[in-house]
Amino acid sequence: MAQAYGSSDGHDSGSTGPGARLRRLGRRLRNDRGYWRRGIVLGALAVLLALVMLLHAQIPNTVGNLGSLIETFLPWLGLFVPVLLILGLVRKSATAVLAVLLPAIVWLNLFGGLLTDKQHSGGDLTVATHNVNADNADPAGTAEDLAASGAQVLALEELTGEALPTYEKALAAAYPYHSVQGTVGLWSKYRLSGTQPVDIKLGWTRAMRSTVTTPGGEVAVYVAHMPSVRVKLDSGFTASQRDKSANALGEAIADEPLDKVVLLGDLNGTMNDRALNAVTSQMRSTQGAAGSGFGFSWPAAFPMARIDQIMVRGVEPVSSWSLPETGSDHLPIAARVNL
């Protein structure tokens, strides 16, 4: 009886090693076509997800600026990968599980480099930028926090006439030099010269440029606050004015005569957003080059996108980080560079 039972179960019946289990699994997959037929829809969704991430630049902006909207939150598409994997396992679908590898590989190719810590010590200039929020209920506290950050050059956006004296008073001791142009301002421990507004096609001033004379040489520092974008049910992701302003800012930076350039500000867009190509194509993000993680800066309560940027040309990023939350709906960000 025992011998007959053993022959019906095959030669692996008495084996419990990993190799035997894999062989039994292989035979089961070959004999049960349901493992491959189940989960076809899940597999198709996984392939679609991979294509959206891989070809995001080809998604048209003609309808509601859909391409830019997807690019703004592109890293978050990676959350669908474990969801699809779990559903594939629940469905016991080999097709779905294998298909999930495609978006996983694409996501890692796009953003895997941000998961490593690229920060280093050193650097000879620390810069910071913060959209302080026009509705900030505690401008004095925000200014004190920023002054304590150690930044030698500090840019502020969304300054109001009512709050400006508070910022000027609170930052005066730490920064002997400053200039405010419209709703943006620059505070510095080093002398400023050649300061002027930058026309970003708005009709009022939300960008400026100044030469900062540091111990490491002259640096052209731009401060910019791109127009806000909105997500509306009737018109989608409305960003046409932001896009025009980004193009104008890109032209100004392209014409900059100094070799060393730093851009600080709220660009209302991420490095993945094609609408900022006029700027991002000629400058490096300090977060991507010398940061740790994604460095999301907005909204401060639960950051989902890095729309505040520190970008450089002609200088080497050493480290990049986010500062603690203030009374604003944005997080301040900082970076240290080698001149």
Residue ranges per structural domain of the chain? 32-115, 125-338
- What's the whole-number average pLDDT of the chain? 90
∠ CA(136), CA(68), CA(157), 5° rounding?
Answer: 25
Mean pLDDT of 193-201: 97
Predicted pLDDT of residue 39:
87
pTM (predicted TM-score): 0.85
pLDDT, tens digit, for every residue of 24-70? 666 665 665 566 678 899 999 999 999 999 999 999 887 777 888 89
Q: How confident is the model at residue 16 (pLDDT cuts 50, 70, 90)?
A: low
Encoded tokens for 135? 């509705």
Mean pLDDT of 229-234: 60
Q: How confident is the model at residue 232 (pLDDT cuts 50, 70, 90)?
A: low
Mean pLDDT of 14-31: 65
Q: Are strands 217-225 and 207-214 parallel, antiparallel or unpaired?
A: antiparallel
Residue 143, judged by CB atoms within 10 A of its CB (0-12, 13-18, 19+), counts as: buried
Predicted pLDDT of residue 29:
57
Homologous superfamily assigned to 125-338: Endonuclease/exonuclease/phosphatase (3.60.10.10)
Predicted pLDDT of residue 4:
45
Residue with tokens 């989902």: 304
Radius of gyration of the chain (CA): 26
Cβ neighbours around 235 below 10 Å, total: 11
Query: Which residue has better confidence, 92 or 321?
Result: 321
Contact by Cβ (8 Å): 250, 278: yes
DSSP H helices in 10-93: 18-31, 34-37, 40-54, 66-72, 80-90
Predicted pLDDT of residue 238:
59
Mean pLDDT of 161-171: 98
Contact by Cβ (8 Å): 252, 214: no
Contact by Cβ (8 Å): 278, 269: no
Which of 2-11, 116-125, 269-278 is least confident?
2-11
